[in-house]
Amino acid sequence: MAERKPIESWLTDMDGVLIHEGIPIPGADEFLKRLKQSGKPFLVLTNNSIYTPRDLHARLTRMGLDVPVENIWTSALATAQFLDDQRPGGTAYVIGESGLTTALHDIGYVLTDTEPDFVILGETRTYSFEAMTKAVRLINNGARFIATNPDETGPSAEGALPATGAVAALITAATGKKPYFVGKPNPLMMRAGLNAIGAHSETSAMIGDRMDTDVLAGLEAGMRTFLVMTGVTRPDEVDRYPYRPSEAVDSIADLIDLV
């Protein structure tokens, strides 16, 4: 096999890699400092579409982690870019929060419940039966179904919460229409992120805590992949998958010297 090229740019997941339940994971601050000192392009990614990059920057800052707004890439931004490429200036009925609606407004989309081009499902803590019913009827009437990410559950201090993938399954059951998921593990999100920082997959690495999203997306985008054990996937689960990360490590602290 050809030897891997040196890593010149980094993509890293946020939850489970840099933070866990609102607390920085040991080594995250030093890893981010090393990235900024190196001058290498990098992005912090999240499948969560609730927050804008500005919101996430503020939240991370309060936790003691300095990530510039321009280095944050969300499934909401990737969804907006996808729609801007596919159907510029379109219309959409949106179930989601400001992270998604702001991204769509920024590309000139009109948000409406009257004959929209798309129904777009994102993350929210207030999924309503009324909104889901409206989405079902609009899809049945011809609107195309897009979802920001396929995650079926999300974390909280009290335990798992139903997330975008679970609600998408409900809408699919009611309409017979499956959504196009833009976020991880779709490599589209990774490639769009790489393009945003002018990086190439052959010299880029992806760090994640989930085999089924982070590692799979990085693998399919052609990147080197690192799995950390501070999030969702446990060490005994790695061998259950038909693919492997390039390397599995205990935490982000083990990768500082690679930057």
Binding-site residues for Mg(2+): 13, 15, 209
β-sheet bridge partners, residue 72: 44
Residues annotated as binding site? 13, 15, 184, 209
Cα dihedral sign for 10, 11, 15, 16?
Answer: negative
In the residue annotation, 13 being an active-site residue is answered as yes
Pick the catalytic residue from 13, 117, 151, 214.
13
Pick the catalytic residue from 15, 117, 151, 214.
15
Q: What is the rounded distance in angstroms from the CA atom of residue 4 to the CA atom of residue 18?
A: 25
Active-site residue set: 13, 15
